[in-house]
Structure 1
């Protein structure tokens, strides 16, 4: 006992006397961190500094402030945005025929003209330049609604409004470049594309081999300073039809015309496609989708420095530009495509499952079908919640690189799960292509979303936790900056201050993790009451466990953690499911706690909790030091975490709400384009008619089952007529049944050629 007291006294003395603490604790730790913590490359440093954090840093801290989270306003559309959706967008949707688009491998000319004339390529451009200046929320909503009918049209609209010349010009262009190009882009006088991907540079955009050499040449009759460019790009959306090319390349100055630095870094320039030497190559065929995608190349193409985005000052700043602006693609466009697909699946599959009959029953009554349908609806609710929340972050002028990476990866993957379940329920109808198959085009287009803006495998294993560990942690990024920018003994005072805060932060989380583990997450009161209260407590527990495990991983592995992609990915999954669950809770609160949505909310939250805790278990079980891993597992949840996923009761509740609560079904699938999509309208009409005749159908089935003679040679209309004769149903019911059955047969039919 005396030894323990002595140790405690010694530790207290060391911490109390600053000079002693410097030498005994801070300096050795600083030297260890210098060896152990990951050294940031120049591109990583720029990526970290270009983005910022938002709610992700709260989740990473171990003590998220839920009241502050809910204080963010509910996502809303302005009157002008809603008017555009109700009018111009509806007109566009009525013009789209995806079957014809895929057949022609292009949008019809009237559609192209309508898009240009009505500002569909000018959502993000300020009004003073002739643009619509829509919010990210409106941009996302519009793309999602288009995607529910035509992915080809959605991608065509999406690209000019995400990563591209307009986005880069608004943030980094010179005043002259803005006044020259933005009005042209707003009116579609200039149709843009952005060329980043090259043969050996996909997800690793920093590996591009395309280059530009600073030199002097004659341009428009004058000898000017410029760049001689050589490039070869592929997978460039809109390249075959673009009139202005945004180009990313590496700039070099071997003759020192701009200074004493030879390798200037990644640079972005804006080049008219009719400029001498620019070659628009052949088209690609992205899984038979009809949007324009192709190649562009040039060899020894000279451009003046004024064409560099940002002018001469923009040379070498391209990587920072791209990292800052990638959030538009990752946070707006790709989640919108996923949401459009998910809403389409929810609306059509819930209808089809009710009208399709097998074994004398609607397949919606089979629990196996209900399991898949509940997953469709629950994940769709989560997708929509994340889409809205992430777009809201961008509207708040945030650039949360980690959150947009989470949205891109998980929403595209969840939409793939949703689509697979929809195909399973539709069975044979989903695999026969034709005008009545409303799922096939979106199904074949899903891998495109998963591949672009960074392949999903690398997004998960390298980006989410790779950036989150340093960017979202309260202290690590600042500690790395001090360590990298100082010698062994320099900056010790500042480092000591951070270290003491870091130790306190970690100690609090360690003891919170133990207490919450012993109480299975209920040891601390929830700050939000109501039917979702328990989820806040469980998420607090998971957040604390993530904070403890992240500190352990970085302390034990240091820079090696970057190469432990499986471990990094699992911690990224924990952070991701924390964020996705947060979005679900936020949507539920902002929608007014709709009772009809509660089962979908329960499903989504149960799913994310199970996935989050499972990822945490997998991290611990595979940690490089098994003793430390098992110790932390016993410490964080000694009696298990109890996250079991959606129960059978929740599954049944989700399906019941879909069929019995019209407003709940509408809310969870409101982005689906029904009226202007004949195939979707057909199954929807059949569903509504089927619901209205269920009572009469039950009478007819009971009559048939009790009848001693089986009329196998009778049509449905004949049976209905006999039932009327036997006074089983009325004449009015008979007429409704015949009309309903005709609609049902059309809805379950497939195309023949």
Structure 2
């Protein structure tokens, strides 16, 4: 046998052990057996001996702690502490506050899919479902979005009263405090349905049930605070807001200049220790109508009234609106989506320490409190709003594309329109799965720091794409505002969700991978904690244990990436059915690739990685799309693997996989250390990039699902308000679809008669008369065509106004003469 055989065997056994992540002693034993077999089968004795010596040189120092610890681990610990990136207060709090769910498996390079599939399917309680079917449905019926957004720039009094009376502001407040005690999933479903009829109503209800006084009080409030405030928040006696953002501190909220000085002051007639606050906040939702203001500020104790620490840190407090010195400014107007929003200011506003959320014990812990609650808010309100808007846009745009005709054809039959319809269908399906997955994580008791940023970013970005495509298909119907327009306000409001609770640009480039690389990685956080231990043998041993676990992890991912790249991930154990198994295998491949790229980036760039925002953003995209694809597969399993959903599932998964390869390609082609980028490319894409976006045939199948009644379309529409009514034009158009399809054969026959000059009349009514008289259509078919014309007119009609109606009240008062009243 060739002298190369023992070395080839050595390589193959090492690759096998690395792929399966076998322990080092197992690798050594397998190698010894394999080399012995080579020698017995006639391989070169010299070559076999050399291969054995090489194995021993590598294995012995690693197997013997008395050699490995002083000669390898201790020097590497010294090097590691030098390259360990310093963590800011913001980063440290974000890492410590979150929990890790299935996203940790995706970062492992070898996901255990059973962990995902074993999670219980999200399900509402009977009480939550009854609330959706009752008070939520009724509130949606009451909504007149044109009246809210154009006439009043506010909810009418009866809506405010109904929301408070039915405890919409107290959905998350426990029942013992008078709230509804709903789960995160129940909260998600309510916001989703409200968003499908009015973003103003959904934000008004959503904010008190996300980041705000109620959430903070439930987690950190003193018992006295809970007993006093939670019942009042639940029944609407208190309307809350939370003031965090200011002119000089937006995304960098830890740099807030608003401050509070510990001092003596008077409160309710008594002299007490408290805080004198000076603050300037803006963009505060519900501030103009709020009666209770949550406040974030930096707390100082210059006179040492509370101890030796002078800069206590960011703290949170509750300010009743009528507190002397509190100034609520005039309203802001967020892109013609007039939810209540405005500034809050104050100078030397005194409150006692009892108004700190959690009392004095939580002074200085405000940022960690916020990070934990922000992850919950990001997981619910904004993704749910995007889901409601996207799902409604999908089904109504599909109906509109079937009803609206140009050149004698439904516009949905044009391939250009079908491309946009397919994007709408796939993105709406994806948003629905992703938003529900993040809500389910919160419902399970997790604090999903990384999934919440993924969900917030991608749901709002995909929601904006859905709004754009829907506007393109509707054309003039979408751009002419009025009571008949159900898209214009959503299009105007789409950038709002992109901006709030962390601007999307910074969320993608700084947060998703920045948090995930440390929090989700199976070894990095452990290594960091080991390096921070006090000097001593325990520190070295702990670092050694995690370091070599990390080294084996990295080698395994390199081998797995190469194998998956060479085989296109066609082999290997995977769950799912015959339709989805291939996608699980693809995700296994990209999980290994992500872990390999992340390890390489952190090793070579160290603390500089967080300044490489383009690289961080692209690797964040890979992690995001892996999580999104997982949510899609979990939804498919939870719903019983419905075959009718295959076009939507396939479009969404192929889109996710293509985005993963685009992101990986961008990361590797622009890797800061060019030779390393080339090496990574060879490992990850040995045969080049192969993933392609969804094709035309699949896109046509996805688009067609939106344009006719079917079970997949019904599932997509579940949870949004489609009840037809005078103030719900979208619901009316959606309800027309079955009758329109039923009338289409009659319409084709009638149009054929007109084009063939068998009918000579010019007006529609006269043509119908002639058609019946000449026997081209029956009286019943005439009725169908008349109904079709009425439905089509309602579908395509837009509003117009007297010029004076469009002028502002201020303009009219200044420029138009007043009429004398007799």
How would you bin the TM-score normalised by the shorter chain?
over 0.9
Q: CA deviation at 1:67?
A: 2.0
Cα offsets for 1:600-634 (capped at 9, x unmatched): 01110010010011101110111011111111111
Q: 1:688 aligns with which of 721, 738, 744?
A: 738
Aligned to 1:595: 643
Aligned to 2:489: 441
SS in 2 for 1:213: strand
SS in 1 for 2:693: coil
Separation of aligned partners in 1, 2:267 and 2:797:
64
Contact 1:200 1:208 in 2 (8 A): yes
Aligned to 1:83: 130
Separation of aligned partners in 2, 1:741 and 1:488:
85
Aligned to 2:230: 182
Aligned to 2:808: none
Q: Spell out the pairing of 1:389-538 with structure 2 (5 A cutoff).
A: 389-487=437-535, 491-538=539-586
Contact 1:335 1:412 in 2 (8 A): yes
Q: CA deviation at 1:728?
A: 3.2
Cα offsets for 1:404-436 (capped at 9, x unmatched): 000000000000001100011001111111111
Contact 1:516 1:637 in 2 (8 A): no
Taking CA–CA contacts closer than 8 Å with sequence separation of 6 or more, which of the two structures ends up with the larger relative contact order?
Answer: 1
Separation of aligned partners in 2, 1:298 and 1:108:
30
Structure 1 pair 15–290 and aligned structure 2 pair: CA distance change class (3 A): same
**What RMSD in Å do the two structures reach over aligned CA positions?**
1.6
- The answer as to 2:151 corresponding to 1:101 is no
Rg larger in 1 or in 2?
A: 2
Stretch moving more, 145-154 or 637-646 = 637-646
Aligned to 1:191: 239
Q: CA deviation at 1:290?
A: 2.3
SS in 1 for 2:578: coil
Contact 2:390 2:463 in 1 (8 A): yes
Contact 1:515 1:523 in 2 (8 A): no
Q: Spell out the pairing of 1:234-249 with structure 2 (5 A cutoff).
A: 234-249=282-297
Contact 1:516 1:541 in 2 (8 A): yes
Q: CA deviation at 1:651?
A: 0.8
Name stretches of at least 5 consecutive residues in structure 1 with no aligned partner: none
Cα offsets for 1:143-172 (capped at 9, x unmatched): 111111111111110111000000000000
Separation of aligned partners in 1, 2:400 and 2:128:
32
Separation of aligned partners in 2, 1:31 and 1:722:
95
Aligned residues: 751
SS in 1 for 2:100: coil
Contact 2:89 2:254 in 1 (8 A): no
Aligned to 1:33: 80
Q: 1:337 aligns with which of 374, 377, 385?
A: 385
Q: CA deviation at 1:658?
A: 2.7
Stretch moving more, 154-163 or 638-647 = 638-647
- The answer as to 2:780 corresponding to 1:736 is no
Structure 1 pair 600–203 and aligned structure 2 pair: CA distance change class (3 A): same
SS in 1 for 2:329: strand
Separation of aligned partners in 1, 2:376 and 2:519:
19
Separation of aligned partners in 1, 2:794 and 2:708:
23
- The answer as to 2:585 corresponding to 1:585 is no
Aligned to 1:678: 728
- The answer as to 2:101 corresponding to 1:54 is yes
Contact 2:403 2:792 in 1 (8 A): yes
Contact 2:376 2:448 in 1 (8 A): no
Q: CA deviation at 1:505?
A: 1.5
Stretch moving more, 396-405 or 95-104 = 95-104
Aligned to 2:203: 155
Aligned to 1:67: 114
SS in 1 for 2:170: coil
Separation of aligned partners in 1, 2:271 and 2:416:
74
Separation of aligned partners in 1, 2:170 and 2:539:
48
- TM-score scaled to structure 2, two decimals? 0.89
Separation of aligned partners in 2, 1:666 and 1:149:
18
Aligned to 1:113: 161
Q: 1:12 aligns with which of 42, 52, 59?
A: 59
Q: CA deviation at 1:52?
A: 0.9
Cα offsets for 1:327-349 (capped at 9, x unmatched): 22210000011011101211210
Q: 2:365 aligns with which of 317, 326, 330?
A: 317
Q: Spell out the pairing of 1:590-739 with structure 2 (5 A cutoff).
A: 590-675=638-723, 676=725, 677-705=727-755, 707-708=756-757, 711=760, 714-739=762-787
Stretch moving more, 283-292 or 394-403 = 283-292
SS in 1 for 2:79: helix
Cα offsets for 1:629-687 (capped at 9, x unmatched): 11111111211342101111211111233334432212112233222443113322433
Stretch moving more, 190-199 or 696-705 = 696-705
Q: CA deviation at 1:734?
A: 1.9
Separation of aligned partners in 2, 1:388 and 1:107:
28
Contact 2:424 2:469 in 1 (8 A): yes
- TM-score scaled to structure 1, two decimals? 0.97
Q: CA deviation at 1:709?
A: 6.5
Q: CA deviation at 1:708?
A: 4.7
